[in-house]
């Protein structure tokens, strides 16, 4: 009789936990060979051999790869450990550019190693909590990145597993190499320039946001009444600068544009000026389009409404046929119709005159 797949997974987890102490340690030492945060079937077979798993490998693979994407992440082996590792790696890159920057921040005195308490408090104090992490996640990461033998400390070299930059990997392995030190000095100077530029960009964007708020009451109304008057969603540098000058904005337009065109696409959007509001409006539109498509599919409304879904949504809200709805009416109708996005920025986007 074949082994029950769920029991195979529990057997595998027990073997891994007994040999390595925790799942992150096993993952970085003997599972994820190329560091891409996912196991191919070949890597998975190698991992089973390394951990001395002697069960049905193919059945175990199928049990873990339930989404059928031909890859297994640590989340599929142990959800808590997988989510902690993913969140920590994202935190390192989004906040510090990678593990080297993270380490330099939590170990400013260059002690070369830090304890569990120091590590957990350090990452939490520098934004891990704001990035969605918890002290429990930080503790799981600490356990997983300790050297062999559970030393009670972590060092910079322990984090080489999540470093994607080849030069920084060399720095982590050979911090005293003269060529590496010289390159590191140049890198720090470049990063300092980048930090100063980022600070200027943030200041320019904040100044422009404050200016628009004072002129129009909120950023969504400013975007629709003054910047994207045709509803094109995207605007060019020339258009944004023209509007800013016409409105009397006296800030640094060149730096402002770099701040709102971070992907260097040549365009900016409401989301790059006011991300939460832009996301809310995009979600409201997507949910509205989906609702109209559903009603057309089941012959509840004529197919012509497909070309103007938002007008159809408004007609459902305007029960008194006054061609206008109050904020309270808009909120009630939106909830009744099943919208799940934040509603206030959407209302402000529709209320162009601030009435």
Contact present, 26 and 51 (Cβ < 8 Å): yes
Residues contacting 321, CB < 8 A, separation 6+: none
Half-sphere exposure of 292 (CA within 13 A, CB side): 20
Q: Is the pLDDT of residue 351 over 90?
A: no
pLDDT above 50: residue 158? yes
If you compute the radius of gyration of the chain from its CA atoms, what whole number of angstroms results? 27
Q: What is the reported pLDDT for 319?
A: 86
β-pair type (234-236, 267-269): antiparallel
pLDDT tens track for 12-53: 999 999 998 899 999 988 898 777 888 989 989 999 999 889
Q: How many angstroms from the chain centroid is the CA of residue 31? A: 25
- For 20, the enclosing helix (H) or strand (E) is helix 5-20
pLDDT at 178 over 60: no
What is the Cα–Cα distance from 21 to 143, expressed in whole angstroms? 8
Residue 176: pLDDT over 90: no
> Quick one: what percent of the chain has pLDDT higher than 90?
41
Q: Could you report how far apart the first and last alpha carbons of the chain are, in Å?
A: 72
Q: Residues 91-149: pLDDT tens digits?
A: 998 888 888 889 989 998 888 889 999 999 999 999 898 888 899 999 999 999 986 66
pTM: 0.50
CA–CA gap between residue 229 and residue 227 (Å, rounded): 6
Query: In which element (H, E) is residue 113 found?
Result: strand 113-115
| Domains of the chain, earliest start first | 5-77 (1.10.238.10), 80-173 (1.10.238), 199-270 (1.10.238), 276-350 (no CATH)
Taking a C-beta distance cutoff of 8 angstroms, is the pair 305, 325 a contact?
no
């Amino acid at each position: 009789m074949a082994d029950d797949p769920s029991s195979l997974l529990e057997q595998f987890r027990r073997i891994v936990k007994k040999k390595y102490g925790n799942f992150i340690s096993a993952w970085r030492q003997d599972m994820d060979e190329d560091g891409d945060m996912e196991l191919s079937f070949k890597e998975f077979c190698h991992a089973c051999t390394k951990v001395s798993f002697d069960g049905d490998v193919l059945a175990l693979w199928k049990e873990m790869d339930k989404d059928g994407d031909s890859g297994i992440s640590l989340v599929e082996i142990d959800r808590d450990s997988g989510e902690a590792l993913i969140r920590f790696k994202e935190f390192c890159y989004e906040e510090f550019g990678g593990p080297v920057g993270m380490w330099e921040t939590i170990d400013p005195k260059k002690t070369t190693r830090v304890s569990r308490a120091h590590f957990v408090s350090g990452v939490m104090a520098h934004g891990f909590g704001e990035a969605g992490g918890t002290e429990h996640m930080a503790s799981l990461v600490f356990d997983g990145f300790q050297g062999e033998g559970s030393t009670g400390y972590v060092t910079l070299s322990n984090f080489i597993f999540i470093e994607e930059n080849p030069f920084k990997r060399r720095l982590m392995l050979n911090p005293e190499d003269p060529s590496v030190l010289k390159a590191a000095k140049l890198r720090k100077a470049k990063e300092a320039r980048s930090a100063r530029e980022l600070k200027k960009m943030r200041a320019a964007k904040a100044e422009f946001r404050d200016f628009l708020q004072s002129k129009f009451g909120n950023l969504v109304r400013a975007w629709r009444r003054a910047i994207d008057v045709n509803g094109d969603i995207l605007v060019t540098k020339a258009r944004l600068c023209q509007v800013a000058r016409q409105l009397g904005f006296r800030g640094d337009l060149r730096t402002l544009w770099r701040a709102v065109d971070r992907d260097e696409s040549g365009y900016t959007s409401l989301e790059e000026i006011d991300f939460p509001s832009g996301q809310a409006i995009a979600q409201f539109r997507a949910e509205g389009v989906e609702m109209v498509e559903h009603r057309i599919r089941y012959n509840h409304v004529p197919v012509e409404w497909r070309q103007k879904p938002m007008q159809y949504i408004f007609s459902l809200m305007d029960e008194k046929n006054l061609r206008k709805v109050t904020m309270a009416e808009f909120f009630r109708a939106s909830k009744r119709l099943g919208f799940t996005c934040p509603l206030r920025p959407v209302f402000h986007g529709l209320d162009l005159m601030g009435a």
